[in-house]
Amino acid sequence: MPKPIRKGDLPRKPCQGCGRPFAWRKKWARVWDEVKYCSERCRRERKPPAGSGSDGRRDVD
């Protein structure tokens, strides 16, 4: 039986939304290089890319 991996030994990287470090999860095993945010909340609240032309406000007549 293989030696278990401790939580402290898992890879970590900073969240692009909040800046806090987060650790690898089994569900991210295949896409770890593509994971940028620690949570769904950080992903939803991310800043829009610069130059998108929209500031998020609607025009009201």
User: What type of residue is 60?
Assistant: V
CA atoms in the 13 A half-sphere facing the CB of 29: 2
Q: Comparing 2 with 49, which gets the higher pLDDT?
A: 2
The pTM of the full predicted model, rounded to 2 decimals, is 0.64
Q: Domain extents for the chain?
A: 10-44
Task: For residues 36 and 19, give the distance between their C-alpha atoms in angstroms, rounded to a whole number.
Answer: 10
- Res 52 pLDDT > 60: no
- Res 12 pLDDT > 90: yes
- Res 40 pLDDT > 90: yes
